[in-house]
Amino acid sequence: MKHNYKLTLAFDGTAYQGWQRQKTTDQTIQTVLERALSACLEGPIRLTGSGRTDAGVHAEAMSAHFITEEGWPAAAEGIADPEGFLWELNRRLPEDIRVYRLEEMPLSFHARFHAKGKIYRYQIDTRPKSGVFRRKYVCHIPGPLLVEEMRRSAGMLVGTHDFSGFTMDKTKGKSKVRTIYRIDIEAADGLLLLRFYGSGFLYHMVRILAGTLIEVGRGEREAESVLEILEHGERKAAGFLAPAQGLFLEQVLY
Amino acid sequence: MKHNYKLTLAFDGTAYQGWQRQKTTDQTIQTVLERALSACLEGPIRLTGSGRTDAGVHAEAMSAHFITEEGWPAAAEGIADPEGFLWELNRRLPEDIRVYRLEEMPLSFHARFHAKGKIYRYQIDTRPKSGVFRRKYVCHIPGPLLVEEMRRSAGMLVGTHDFSGFTMDKTKGKSKVRTIYRIDIEAADGLLLLRFYGSGFLYHMVRILAGTLIEVGRGEREAESVLEILEHGERKAAGFLAPAQGLFLEQVLY
C-alpha cells in the first residue's frame, strides 16, 4: 500500500540555494532532505514542497509531502515509530535543517495545492549598529523608520490585487492576482517585524513588498505610491528587493 | 600627549580561538581587532582586554583599553570624531565583531584590573529538538530539567568560596577564591538561562558551574553535591565542561 506523509521542517537558509532541487548544485534544502530521507527509507524519495523559497531565505515551518511505494516494507517499518524515525532523519541532516513533525495524510493530500495561505515575516534591525548575533537573520536599516507611514501603506496593499508590479515573475498568461489578508508591523527588541498573511506569494513578492515599505519608512516614497504600483503593475515603480536573509517563512496554512 | 581609550564590543565567538592573541593562529578576537585599530590609527595598537574568553565563547559587551603614543596626530585626529571613528573601525572588522562604544578614560584606567565584576549567561535549549536559528548560541539539553533543584544548588554556590574544584586552572600559589554575588535561573522562550554575577571567574569556571547545574537539573547529582566540591576542591567531583557555544559574556562591571 502507498502512504502519504507530511513533514514540517525549519531551516537556516544562509548556506543554501533555496528550496528547489537544481541540476547545477547540491546545496538546496530539497536535495539534502531527499538524500537523508532516501537513506532512512532505503529507497528513492521525491519531496513536494509547499512552495519554493529563494536562496538565503529561512523557514520556521515549511511543509512538504512524500509518497512511499507500494509494498515497501522498510518504509512502513521505519515510519511506524514517528519519533524514532525523526530522530534517525535529523541525525542524517546537517544542523541547519531540522524536521519537527511527521504526519500520515490521506493519499490525496498535496503540500502545495492544499496550502490555503502562508505567513512570511521580514526582520529589520533598526539599531544604529547591527547586532552580531542576528546578523544572518535581519536586514540592517539603521535609524528610526516612519512606522505609522509604513502601516498606512501596508493597509493599502491588503486585499485582492494584481501584484504584477511586486514580482519578478514575467510568466505570460499566469495570473498575478493574489490576496493579502493582513500585514502587521511590530517593533520588538531592536527589530521591526513585518508580517505578511496571504493566499500565496509570487516570485520575490514579499521581498519587494518589504523593500517598498522600507522606502516608505525612510521617507523616500509616499505611502500612497503603492496604489500606483498596484494599478500600473510596473516593477520599476516599486521599491528595492530587500535582502533574502531577513525573510522567514513562518507558517503554511492548510 | 598619551590618551587612553576604552572600547565596548560584541562578538560571535563561533569562528574564533578566544579573545587572547596567540602565536599559532590569527583567528583570535584580539588579533583581528588590533589589526583593524592599527589600520585606522596608522600605528601599532596593543589592546588590553577585561579578561580572556575561551574559544567559541560569545560576548555581548566585552571591554578593552588601548593607549595611543605621545605626539600621534593621526590618532588624535581620527578619534576626535568617535562616531566617525567607530564607523571606520567597524567597516574594517568582520561582521562577527562589532565595536559599540569608544570612550576616553583617565590614563590610569585598566580594563582588567579595574573590572569590579562580570555577568556571564549560559543558554540551554531545553526543547525536544534543538532550534535551527539558535544552534550556535545554546547547549541543547532536551527534556525537562529540575529547575527548582538547580536553583537550590545555585544558591549554595553564591558567596565567597575557593572554587578550585570548578576550574582547570592549576597555577600554584594563585588564589582560587572568588565571590559569586548571585545566580539567576530563568526560563524564556524554550531556553533556560543561567546568569552568573561574580567578582571574577577562573579558567573554565562558568562552564563547569553550568555543567554541574545541568547534571543537577537532570537528576544525575544531588543539589548538595556542590558543597562537597567547594570543600574538597576536586575538579573530578564537579560536573562536565558545558560547551563554549552556550556561553555569553553579558557585561563587565566597573
Model pLDDT, residue B76: 64
Model pLDDT, residue A143: 77
Beta carbons of A130 and B98 less than 8 Å apart: yes
Q: Residue A190: pLDDT band by 50, 70, 90 thresholds?
A: confident
d(CA B252, CA B50): 7
A126-138 confidence digits (pLDDT tens):
998 888 999 999 9
Chain length of chain B? 254
Model-level ipTM above the cut of 0.90: no
Interface of B with A (CB under 8 A): 10-12, 58, 86, 90, 95-98, 100, 129-133, 135, 137
Query: Which range, of A34-48, A159-173, B36-50, B70-84, averages the lowest pLDDT?
Result: B70-84
pTM as predicted: 0.88
Cα B45 to Cα B105, B107, B187, distances in angstroms: 16, 15, 42
pLDDT per residue as tens, chain B (254 positions)? 889 999 999 999 999 999 999 999 999 999 999 999 999 888 899 999 999 999 999 999 999 999 988 766 666 677 778 888 999 999 999 999 999 999 999 999 999 999 999 999 999 999 988 889 999 999 999 979 999 999 999 999 999 999 999 998 888 888 999 999 999 999 988 899 999 999 999 999 999 999 999 999 999 999 999 999 999 999 999 999 999 999 999 999 99
Interface of A with B (CB under 8 A): 10-12, 58, 86, 90, 95-98, 100, 129-133, 135, 137
* Residue B143: all three cell numbers together: 527534556
- Looking at the complex, report in whole angstroms how far the Cα of residue B134 sits from the nearest Cα belonging to chain A: 9
Q: What amino acid positions of B are annotated as catalytic residues?
A: 54
Question: Who among A86, A95, A132 is closest to B98 (CB)?
Answer: A132
Indicate if the pLDDT at residue A71 is higher than 70.
no
Give the count of alpha carbons within 13 A of A109, CB side only: 21
Strands B117-125 and B58-68: what pairing? unpaired
Beta carbons of B58 and A133 less than 8 Å apart: yes
Beta carbons of A132 and B86 less than 8 Å apart: no
Beta carbons of A97 and B132 less than 8 Å apart: yes
Q: Strand pairing partners for B122? A: B194, B247
Q: At what angle do helices A82-92 and A29-41 cross, to 10 degrees?
A: 130
A199-250 confidence digits (pLDDT tens):
999 999 999 999 999 999 999 999 999 999 999 999 999 999 999 999 999 9
Beta carbons of A98 and B137 less than 8 Å apart: no
| Among A54, A81, A125, A169, the one annotated catalytic | A54
| Residues B199, B201, B202: CA angle, nearest 5 degrees | 140
Q: Strand pairing partners for A187? A: A192
Size of the A and B interface in Cβ pairs below 8 Å: 46
Residues of A in contact with B135 (CB under 8 A): 12, 95-96
- Cα A125 vs. chain centroid, distance in angstroms? 19
Name the residue with cell 521580514: A122
Average pLDDT over residues A89-96: 95
Model pLDDT, residue B128: 86
Indicate if the pLDDT at residue A72 is higher than 90.
no
Residue of B nearest to A87 (CA): B129
Question: Who among B96, B130, B131 is closest to A132 (CB)?
Answer: B96
Q: Indicate the Cα dihedral angle B192, B197, B203, B204, nearest 10°.
A: -10
